[in-house]
């Protein structure tokens, strides 16, 4: 059959059709471009801000505080710059992203509790950030303690020289062991207080930037694995927030009282709450035990799998269709990977979740998860649900846990 010629459209009609696409677009197609547009807008805003800063560099330069020359006063320790306050927010962003952008099927239903590759990447970066921060802080504490011990003879000489200077009203110059064993001159007037320079406030050492990320890490584990870990992470995070607020409030109240703020202590050994570290460890341990206890009990005391109402293998009962089929979950696995169900008849699927980890049973046309036939409720155990599955045609299908895609098997309807 010869191909029919396409009707010709005059230029004016073509222009009107093009204009209609702009005036009344298909918004369902444009919505997909919103994240790209937002990202482009953010990049443009950053570029424009950088260009504006370059154009006004002369005006802004005077607003930058000049670098203080010399060494910190005696008894004052200035911590060095750290990369970890930048690394940990990146990890937190990835963890939030893994919860927000989950893989879905063709119907838009999530097929997993998190985006596992992004979640694992964020988790690794979190652990690296926490351990790196702890290592840097510990190294700095040890170096500070060593320098204080090395500096003790010079401080003693300063004290003696100061008493001598009081009788003459002059200043004292003492040369003695300094930082890292170098000769470091120190000129101290009799009335010079051991305080930071005017206008400079040095906050004391704080343990809360370490405790807070630990609590958040446990909280994120709880979002994926267990409500017990979620509660433990919330409690740990609340403790860290309260501690941080109390420390900051102490210095704020001093400012309101009309004098320069001073921390409770500048001694990192005294600032670190060792008892609280054990409390944090105990809370996390209790959360882990509560999460693993059902699985450990089931592993230590194996019981017979739930008896289905039909014959072995999960098939329908003697009465034909409409029988009950049973399946159980324990140790992050189904107890069977083959189910036989009646074809073209609704049936009851009894699902026994024997552990605290949330599971469900979902049935799809095949392992591509493209066509969903049934989606069961996700719930933590130990608990049982009776799923009422609608009739499915005869054939072979795929069942899976929506939270843990490694839990799967084959459904045969006949």
CA R_g for the chain: 34
The whole-angstrom distance between residue 3's C-alpha and the CA centroid of its chain comes to: 60
Contact 326, 306 (CB under 8 A): yes
For residue 364, report the phi and psi dihedrals to the nearest 5 degrees.
-125, 165
Report the candidate in 291, 289, 400 with the shortest Cα–Cα distance to residue 355. 291
**Cα distance between residue 41 and residue 66, in whole Å:** 34
Residue with tokens 């443009």: 44
Q: Give buried/exposed letters for 331-342 (b at 16+ CB in 10 A, else e).
A: eebbebeebbbb
- In the chain, the domains with their CATH numbers are 206-302 (no CATH), 324-413 (2.60.40.420)
Per residue of the chain (414 residues), give pLDDT as tens: 455 554 555 676 776 666 666 666 565 666 667 778 888 988 999 999 888 888 877 776 665 556 666 666 666 667 777 888 888 888 888 888 888 787 877 666 677 777 888 889 988 998 999 899 888 888 887 877 776 666 666 555 544 544 444 444 444 444 444 443 343 444 444 444 455 666 666 777 788 888 888 888 888 888 777 788 888 988 998 998 898 888 888 877 777 776 667 777 777 778 788 888 888 889 989 988 888 877 777 666 655 444 444 433 444 443 334 456 899 998 788 988 899 999 989 999 999 998 877 889 999 988 888 888 998 888 887 889 999 999 999 999 999 988 787 788 999 998
How far CA 206 is from CA of 45, 235, 243, 266, 268, in Å, comes to: 35, 19, 9, 9, 8
Strands of the sheet containing 338-341, edge to edge, are 338-341, 408-413, 395-400, 362-364, 372-375
DSSP 179: G
**Cα distance between residue 287 and residue 231, in whole Å:** 8
For residue 382, whether the previous peptide bond is cis, meaning omega lies within 30 degrees of 0, is yes
Whether the pTM exceeds 0.75: the reply is no
Contact 361, 103 (CB under 8 A): no
């Amino acid at each position: 059959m010869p191909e029919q010629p396409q009707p010709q459209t005059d230029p004016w009609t073509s222009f009107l059709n093009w204009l209609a696409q702009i005036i009344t677009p298909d918004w369902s197609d444009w919505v997909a471009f919103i994240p790209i547009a937002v990202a482009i807008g953010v990049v443009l805003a950053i570029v424009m801000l950088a260009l504006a800063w370059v154009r006004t560099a002369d005006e802004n330069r005077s607003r930058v505080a000049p670098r203080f020359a010399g060494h910190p006063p005696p008894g004052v320790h200035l911590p060095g710059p750290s990369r970890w306050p930048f690394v940990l927010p990146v990890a937190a962003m990835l963890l939030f992203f893994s919860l927000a952008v989950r893989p879905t099927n063709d119907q838009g239903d999530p097929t997993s509790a998190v985006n596992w590759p992004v979640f694992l990447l964020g988790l690794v970066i979190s652990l690296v950030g926490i351990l790196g921060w702890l290592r840097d802080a510990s190294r700095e504490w040890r170096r500070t303690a060593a320098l204080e011990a090395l500096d003790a003879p010079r401080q003693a000489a300063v004290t003696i020289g100061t008493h001598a200077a009081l009788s003459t009203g002059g200043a004292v110059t003492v040369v003695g062991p300094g930082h890292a064993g170098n000769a470091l001159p120190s000129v101290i007037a009799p009335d010079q207080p051991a305080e930071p320079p005017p206008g400079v406030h040095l906050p004391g050492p704080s343990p809360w930037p370490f405790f807070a990320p630990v609590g958040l890490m446990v909280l994120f584990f709880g979002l994926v694995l267990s409500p017990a870990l979620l509660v433990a992470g919330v409690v740990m995070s609340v403790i860290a927030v309260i501690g941080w607020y109390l420390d900051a409030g102490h210095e704020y109240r001093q400012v309101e009282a009309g004098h320069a703020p001073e921390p409770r202590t500048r001694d990192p050994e005294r600032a670190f709450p060792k008892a609280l570290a054990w409390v944090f460890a105990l809370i996390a341990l209790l959360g882990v035990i509560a999460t693993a206890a059902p699985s450990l009990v089931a592993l230590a005391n194996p019981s017979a799998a739930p008896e289905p109402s039909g014959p072995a293998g999960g098939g329908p009962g003697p009465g034909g269709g409409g029988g009950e089929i049973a399946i159980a979950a324990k140790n992050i696995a189904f107890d069977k990977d083959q189910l036989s169900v009646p074809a073209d008849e609704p049936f009851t699927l009894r699902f026994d979740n024997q552990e605290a980890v949330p599971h469900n049973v979902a049935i799809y046309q095949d392992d591509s998860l493209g066509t969903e036939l049934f989606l069961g409720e996700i719930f933590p155990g130990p608990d049982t649900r009776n799923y009422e599955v609608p009739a499915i045609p005869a054939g072979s299908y795929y069942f899976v846990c929506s939270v843990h895609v490694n839990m799967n098997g084959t459904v045969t309807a006949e």
